[in-house]
Amino acid sequence: MREVTATLGGEEITLAATFKASEEIADRVADPLAIAREAALESMFAQALQVYEPKFKFTVRNVPLLLHIGMRAAGDKRTLEQVQALTFDGGFFSARDIATDYIAAIVGPTSEEITPSEGDAPSGE
């Protein structure tokens, strides 16, 4: 199981990247693949110094919800209200960064998936 561990508001939190959590995110927030795509597009346009209005935005409502879903998947028993307070105490920018890392853990490959097999040529050769 993939996990994201971070410190928010002085407390260590762990978010588990599971299929069930990704389904709940899709049902309650937005599809994790769409979130990741919009974040990638926004980053790409920013690097090109162009304005891009993403279809998905992290908000004061959805960031604590994303964290809560991930924390619950990792076995954390805190309520959404407790996670909202922790998010506020830790700062929304910090919490958004954690949520971004969590979405990346959900949609990205595991390290085993990107390790070349024996006999594969290293990239660039």
Minimum mean pLDDT among 9-13, 37-41, 73-77, 114-118: which range? 114-118
Q: Which residue has the tokens 């979130």?
A: 35
Query: 2-8 and 11-17: which strand pairing?
Result: antiparallel
Q: pLDDT band at 31, cuts 50/70/90? A: very high
Q: What global pTM score does this model have?
A: 0.84
